[in-house]
Amino acid sequence: MCVLLAGCIGTASGGPDNGAPLRQLSLYDGEVVVAAPRGYCVDASNLRRRASGAVVPMASCESLTGKSGIAVLPALISVSVLPRRGAAPPARPLAAEIAASLAPAQPLRQIDRPRASFVHFASGGGDILPGGDPGHWRAGMVINGHLIGLAVYAPAGSPLAGDEGFDLISALADALYRASPDPAADSVSRAAASQAYGLFLFPG
pLDDT at 185: 46
pLDDT at 203: 44
pLDDT at 11: 34
Claim: this prediction has a pTM higher than 0.85: no
Q: Is residue 17 very low, low, confident or very high in pLDDT (cuts 50, 70, 90)?
A: very low
Task: Give the highest mean pLDDT range of 18-32, 80-94, 122-136, 178-192.
Answer: 122-136
Of 190 and 127, more confident:
127
Whether the predicted pLDDT of 121 surpasses 80: yes
Tell me the three-class secondary structure of the chain, residue by residue.
Answer: CHHHHHHHHCCCECCCCCCCCECEEEECCCCEEEECCCCEEECHHHCEEECCEEEEEEEEHHHHHCCCCCCCCCCEEEEEECCCCCCCCCCCCCHHHHHHHCCCCCEEEEEECCCCEEEEECCCHHHHCCCECCCEEEEEEEECCEEEEEEEECECCCHHHCHHHHHHHHHHHHHHHHHCCCCCCCCCCHHHHHHHHHHHHCCC
Of 181 and 17, more confident:
181
Q: Is residue 125 very low, low, confident or very high in pLDDT (cuts 50, 70, 90)?
A: very high
Residue pLDDT, tens place only, 51-90: 889 999 999 999 998 888 888 999 999 999 999 887 777 8
Of 10 and 151, more confident:
151
pLDDT at 18: 53
pLDDT at 184: 54
